Amino acid sequence: MSVLAPSDHDEIQAAVAGALADGIPTEVRGHATRRGWGRPVQAEQELDLSRISGIHLYEPKELVLSAAAGTPIREINEALAAENQHLAFEPPDWAPLYGGAAGEGTFGGVIACNLAGPRRIQAGAARDHLLGFTAVSGRGETFKSGGRVVKNVTGFDLSKLIAGSFGTLAVMSDITVKVLPAPEKVRTVLVFGLSSEDARKAMSAALNSPSDVGGAAHLPAGAAARSAVDYVNGAGTAATALRVEGPEPSVAARTEALKRLLGEYGGIEELHTSRSRTLWAEVRDVHPLLPQGENLIWRVSVPPAGGYAPPPDAEYYTDWGGGLIWISVPASDDGAPPPPRVDGGHATLMRAPASVRGVVAVFEELPAGVAALSARIKESFDPERVLNPGRMYPGI
Amino acid sequence: MKMPAPDQATLARRQEIVAKLREIVPPGPLGDGVIDDANTLSAYECDGLSAYRQLPMVVVLPETVRQVSDILKYCHETGTKVVARGSGTSLSGGALPLADAVMLGLGKFNRILDIDYANRCVVTQPGVTNLAISDAVAADGFYYAPDPSSQIVCSIGGNVAENSGGVHCLKYGLTTNNVMGVEMVTMDGEIMRLGGKHLDSGGYDILGLINGSEGLLGVITEVTVRILRKPETARAALIGFDSAAAAGDCVGAVIGAGIIPGGMEMMDRPAIAATEEFVHAGYPLDVEALLIVELDGPAAEVDYLIGRVREIAEGLGAGYFRISENDEERENFWAGRKAAFPAVGRITPDYYCMDGTIPRARLPEVLTRISELSEKHGLGVANVFHAGDGNLHPLIMYDANEPGELAAAEEFGAEILRLCVEVGGVLTGEHGVGVEKRDLMGAMFTEEDLKQQQRVKCAFDPDSLLNPGKVFPTLHRCAELGRVHVHRGETRFPDIPRF
């Protein structure tokens, strides 16, 4: 398959115009680290954005950063860390989930997939931090939306549509995001030995307290055993983790408050900054389910107190206070298992062989009215379906 | 401001439309469902932007989602325009009626449906006020974070339509960051649910697009918002500087030190003087710029951070620094800022409130140029500023009874907004485009930018029946917008590397 690698915005526009003129379905990608996520794209050429790279505006006091879509996310994280700032939505590194090397991936990919880590419950997802972008639509036309300021209601918020569109609407060239101060200190309160139901209650109590919890996860015994953090892997039982972040006096006071609140649920331990960072990176990056060979991995978003139970034979852990469940199940004989049943939520098949992803609804099917509207939105940006055709849904 | 000419054929069908609407929404326990007499209609002739007035053709006040759907289906089939309205507090004319449109009022959708602490959310009908949501959960220690200054009256449905802000946006986000789900009816009568009590829904983020779409894409009939536990404590500091530049430096330095206050507001000397005279909040009168910086969170954090803010402010030459010692004093600090608009209203017959956002570092230069424009137009101006996020509210003082002053105020305002765009900012931070800034959209967007937005509008409402004449300066037909322009050959760059 031929690979087009434009080096600036005009070349992106020319590439898309060419694909449009010749009717060539085109796979849009950065480092292709998340290529295994979504339906297989039936493309005849690739549009590789990794040469369009570089941070061209970073003003820490204005809390704003703009960079080319193909900029390595690692480069952005490093630039922010040098100023004690970060992307508060905590973009996960799922490259290893798809067999890639950790640390790869582009800025554009993070935004296009609307990534979010454990801090989603407090700080939102990529969508909540995208301030504006410039792109080429599937019509081969350049357009921009948003700006470089947080307070902006000028025109439709196309940033929301682009975040999470998996490259099916337009090819971003430049992206502007809100950045935030990184917390000085991190502490984690661990509660040991809870059942998933008790864990949900404990996480709910913590999240409903004034302790401003910015991470609430539950690792059943199997998942806890795979952690690299000694207090977690050595417990021999389930570990429920609550994270607080901020200046030293604040995290100390909130940790004490959480320990008082959660003491009745089970044995308590406390992690300081370094171990906390390790544990939450594991939770963020699906580390507890990774060494599971060829298992299928599902990601299920539900109301945290909705009582969703994973399939009985599944390995799993939960994040977002019980609102996100990562599930690992063995591939069945026919290779196409039914998705976990979800009422009032959404299931995504995160990892499976392409043959399975071609026939299973990778993203749970949308209600008919929403599906029809989504198809019309696709049409408004990319009527000839040249960009990542079929990546999300058939026809989209 | 020129609105599209009313469609005579629609006006000729008025009696038929009224009769059909009465059939869909008969009189009920909450009163009449349809209003068509001129006297009662006059209550709906404007929203918060009262300079523009227009009697609606008819007002319909449905009570159920089914009725909303039937109204829209009927209007869709008959090519009748519809303008949705919540509490009518838009400051940009988002709910300005059209002479040939049905005004669809959501005021009877006034119930909170579900308070769900376990999932930390509230499900509510769209006509419920912003403040009523916080009030409903206050006794249990929760609140809804976005707090536009009209929160006593503005509806949550209107907040979604306008993506409303408030003084706490910097730390807690705008409406769009706090809405988890909606039920919406599109122009063809289709009822759909977007999002819910869970965070990820898959597919395009239509929910995010709806926030701030100014009533052009659908009618909101239910909203699920996230609620937050009230911070354990909050303390505010009043900080005075002898120049706006120094105050601006202080804002940047606080954020640069990694501190995100719950609220960070600035007022200039005219705004301080007007509010102090009105509210007696105890503001210093001998400073050029006053900051209100509020820290909220656990007591240990607030006490620690307010000390750091003090060090930063004094290091930058703050001549005045006072910390609230209790909640009463803190609320008093805010009372002046929150009354800034009416306070300015006391010292001038009329005022015109602008709403641009700028990159914060450009503040001193923007204030200087606003003061030059003030001299040029011969109109006074007071500035209040959501300093943390760069959202500027210049209040232009004028007298509508003086010939030419309204026009001068509008021109002054337009020049301020163009200035905001010129320095890298935007036309509107939280009040919306509506009719007010519609014709300025070209200052910020290219024709292609606007066409792509309008194509999205076409995906929802191909006949442009929902709130037409708002947001977009030029109306294009969807068929024309939909055409694909293929540039075969001429735009090929043979030198793009291929592998």
Non-local (6+) Cβ contacts of B478 within 8 A are B454, B455, B458, B462, B463, B464
Q: What is the pLDDT of residues B471-485, one digit of tens each?
A: 999 888 999 999 888
Higher pLDDT, B150 or B178: B178
pLDDT (average), residues A156-180: 98
CB contact under 8 A, B452 and A165: no
Higher pLDDT, B166 or B426: B426
Q: What is the CATH number of domain B112-229?
A: 3.30.465.10
Q: How far apart are CA B351 and CA B410, in angstroms?
A: 10
Q: Please say whether the structural domain B8-105 has been given the CATH code 3.30.43.10.
A: yes
Q: How many CB atoms lie within 10 A of CB A291?
A: 9
Q: How far apart are CA B114 and CA A311, in angstroms?
A: 29
Provide the pLDDT for residue A339. Answer: 64
Q: Which residues of B touch A85 (CB under 8 A)?
A: 258
Q: DSSP letters of A219-255?
A: E-HHHHHT-SSHHHHTSSS-EEEEEEEESHHHHHHHH
Provide the pLDDT for residue A311. Answer: 83
> What is the residue extent of each domain of chain A?
1-182+365-396, 185-284, 292-357
Residue B229 bridge partners (DSSP): B142
Q: How far apart are CA B341 and CA B149, in angstroms?
A: 10
Provide the pLDDT for residue A333. Answer: 64
Q: How far apart are CA A28 and CA A43, in angstroms?
A: 9
For residue B121, the chain A residue with the least C-alpha distance is: A303
| Secondary structure element (H or E) that encloses residue A4, with its range | strand A2-4
CB contact under 8 A, A393 and B433: no
CB contact under 8 A, A160 and B211: yes
Q: Does A82 touch chain B (CB under 8 A)?
A: no
A336 pLDDT above the threshold of 70: no
What confidence tier does A335 reach under pLDDT thresholds 50, 70, 90? Answer: low
B10 pLDDT above the threshold of 80: yes
Q: What is the CATH number of domain B233-341?
A: 3.30.70.2190
Provide the pLDDT for residue B493. Answer: 53
Cβ contact A279:A271 at 8 Å = yes
Q: What is the pLDDT of residues B185-227, one digit of tens each?
A: 999 999 999 999 999 999 999 999 999 999 999 999 999 999 9
For residue A60, the chain B residue with the least C-alpha distance is: B256
- Give Cα separations from B279 to A33, B167, B275, B334 (angstroms): 59, 19, 6, 10
Of A18, A156, A301, the CB nearest to B198: A301
Q: Which residues of B touch A206 (CB under 8 A)?
A: none
Higher pLDDT, B119 or B149: B119
Task: Please state the ipTM of this predicted complex.
Answer: 0.97
Percent of all residues in chain A with a pLDDT value above 90, rounded to a whole number: 88
Q: What is the pLDDT of residues A151-165, one digit of tens each?
A: 999 999 999 999 999
Mean pLDDT over the full length of chain A: 94
B492 pLDDT above the threshold of 60: no
Provide the pLDDT for residue A309. Answer: 85
CB contact under 8 A, A15 and B208: no
Q: What is the pLDDT of residues A180-205, one digit of tens each?
A: 999 999 999 999 999 999 999 999 99
* Residue of A153, A172, A201, A325 to mutate when probing chain B, most B C-beta within 10 A: A153
Domain topology for B348-435: Alpha-Beta Plaits (3.30.70)
Q: How far apart are CA A69 and CA A132, in angstroms?
A: 12
Provide the pLDDT for residue A337. Answer: 64
Provide the pLDDT for residue A226. Answer: 95
CA angle A208, A211, A215 (to 5 degrees): 80
- For tokens 């620690």, name the residue: B304
At A353, list the tokens: 């062989």
For residue B470, the chain A residue with the least C-alpha distance is: A155
Q: What is the pLDDT of residues B353-370, one digit of tens each?
A: 999 999 988 998 999 999
Cβ contact B367:B267 at 8 Å = no
Q: Which residues of B touch A252 (CB under 8 A)?
A: 300
Q: How many CB atoms lie within 10 A of CB B427?
A: 31
Q: What is the pLDDT of residues B39-86, one digit of tens each?
A: 999 999 999 998 899 999 999 999 999 999 999 999 999 999 999 999
**Residue ranges matching CATH 3.30.465.10 in chain B:** 112-229
CB contact under 8 A, A252 and B300: yes
Q: What is the pLDDT of residues A364-386, one digit of tens each?
A: 999 999 999 999 999 999 999 99
Q: What is the pLDDT of residues B299-324, one digit of tens each?
A: 999 999 999 999 999 999 999 999 99
Question: How big is the A-B interface in CB pairs under 8 Å?
Answer: 327
Provide the pLDDT for residue B498. Answer: 65
Q: Which residues of B touch A208 (CB under 8 A)?
A: 117, 120, 229
Q: Which residues of B touch A124 (CB under 8 A)?
A: 173, 177
Q: How far apart are CA B359 and CA A166, in angstroms?
A: 30
CATH class of this structure's domain A1-182+365-396: alpha beta
B427 pLDDT above the threshold of 80: yes
* Residue of A83, A131, A151, A391 to mutate when probing chain B, most B C-beta within 10 A: A151
- Give Cα separations from A394 to A28, A38, A43 (angstroms): 17, 11, 14
pLDDT (average), residues A236-246: 97
Q: How far apart are CA A323 and CA B105, in angstroms?
A: 35
Q: What is the pLDDT of residues B22-47, one digit of tens each?
A: 999 999 877 889 999 999 999 999 99
Which CATH number among 3.30.590.20, 3.30.70.2190, 3.40.50.10680, 3.30.1310.10 corresponds to the domain A185-284? 3.30.70.2190
- For tokens 């609550």, name the residue: A242
What confidence tier does B235 reach under pLDDT thresholds 50, 70, 90? Answer: very high
